[in-house]
Amino acid sequence: MDNALQERLHLALTAQRRAFEAQRMPSYEVRRDRLQRLLAMTRQHGEALAAAMAQDFGHRARQESLLADIFTVESGARHALKHLRGWMKPRRVATPLHFLPGRNVLMRQPLGVVGVVSPWNYPYYLAMEPAVAALAAGNRVLIKPSELTPATSELMARIVAEHFRPEEMQVITGDAEVGKAFTQLPFDHLFFTGSTAVGRHVAQAAAKNLTPVTLELGGKSPAIVDRSCDLGLTASRLAFGKLFNAGQTCVAPDYLLVPREMVEPLSQRLLAEMRRMYPRIAGNADYTSIATPRHLARLQGLLADAVQRGARVLRSHDEQPDDRRLVPALLLDVPLEATVMQEEIFGPLLPVIGYDQLDDALAHINGGDRPLALYLFGSDGAARDRVMRETHAGGVTINDCLWHLGQEEQPFGGVGASGMGSYHGEWGFRTFSKEKPLFIQSRLAGTKLFQPPYGATFERLLALLKRIA
């Protein structure tokens, strides 16, 4: 590691750690002030951030940036401000009869310095939403944003420096080498959003310092279409969920599992909905580009591999844009060994897999890694209950896509290969807190009766405890 880089990171961490040690339990007023500054920063610079994201992507729909990156951070900050006082309060916990008149209290205490490593696909939201939770919990925050969105990352670094002292919150920009060094720092908690492959390396780096981690990863999130669904509504909502941010969303539906006889009619409805939402692809301000030439080449490779293996491609538009806007495509009759069925797609390609019975769909899902999201379309309550019982996923939306991600009253996080830990709302506050149990003993406690020398009294009391405990 470069000595100058190591020194830069060490100084940033040391400054925040010293500041935390001088104020280990920030007051409600201090935390509220930090959240209000973050909210004001987001409101003030929302349009500039959307413009920076458009620059980084080549083109990104302004409305998508304002909804998915700006509004979501504002919403998270407002939710935290509304509930902060209650989250901070020590909580009385039930005390077993045999420990009375002692009492249990649970105290939530900030951890110290939190590191956040954020990705390129939602560069502001996935940096600032964890920061909201960490600041609410009373921590200091260092953020390493993606090098693939340089304009957004530099703007974040500037506006954070304008609204926060570096010992409160700081953005550290740099390339992948900076990111690697960042994850090796001895944080009190490390929060990473990105791919499963990189997440494994992050977890290994953090383990050397025994740093606890939250990993928000991805995977192949399925959408099950049940025979009881409303075909038109299902097609409309799937098209939106898949093509929002051109499919570059960690919870985008990655493939469809559809009753075999419904594959063709649903596919035609999907293509029609895609054309309704995006009458053209080339030059359409509503349709986002693929973020980098490398990502575009990868998606084109996935498509070529599927075709070579016998897949049938249905494109939504008969166009060939000369920029990085990729025409959406459905892939039918895709062999399961095709690369597009092995890797998270992260783009506007959507395999449609036919099934005969629900058993087949469930077996397919459970035969792979546990996904970050699962979607189910249908009105059959028994089928819904069975899918919920017999599958694992980080989160679920029924009869729509993506929207469970926006629920501040629910935890968001992965399971298995799609991640560990959760955040949003109170779950984020708890992630970045040490929930410290306190047992407060009474002067009148009878615990002296259990002290040595042991004898018949001890045996009688132990027998009594076994009966009442």
3-state helix, strand, coil in the chain (%, to 5): 50, 15, 35
Which residue is listed with tokens 């100084």? 11
- Alpha helices, H only, 117-261: 125-136, 150-163, 176-183, 196-207, 231-243
The letter for the amino acid at 321 is P
Strand order in the sheet with 255-259: 312-315, 329-332, 349-355, 255-259, 222-225, 373-377, 395-398
Q: Are 66 and 245 in contact (CB under 8 A)?
A: no
- State residue 412 phi and psi, 5-degree precision: -125, 130
| Among candidate residues 157, 202, 160, the one with its CA nearest the CA of residue 179 | 202
CA distance 354 to 343: 19
**Contact in structure between 385 and 376 (CB atoms under 8 Å):** no
Cβ–Cβ < 8 Å for 143, 172: yes
Choosing from 168, 250, 408, 426, the catalytic residue is 250
Question: For residues 254 and 220, is the Cβ–Cβ distance under 8 A?
Answer: yes
Beta bridge partners of 433: 110
Cα 356 to the center of its chain, rounded Å: 33
Catalytic option among 64, 74, 216, 426: 216
Active site residue 216: yes
160, 192, 144, 138: which is closest to 45 by C-alpha? 160
Contacts of 202 (CB under 8 A, 6+ apart): 117, 183, 190, 192, 194, 213, 215
Cβ atoms of 374 and 391 within 8 Å: the answer is: yes
Q: How is residue 140 written in tokens?
A: 């200091």
Contact (Cβ atoms closer than 8 angstroms) between residue 357 and residue 206:
no
Residue with tokens 């994850």: 183
Q: In what order do the strands lie in the sheet with 433-440?
A: 91-93, 103-110, 433-440
Distant-in-sequence, close-in-space partners of 145: CB < 8 Å, separation ≥ 6 = 118, 123, 127, 152, 153, 156, 157, 171, 173
CB 131 within 8 A of CB 164: no
- Report, as residue numbers or ranges, the catalytic residues: 216, 250
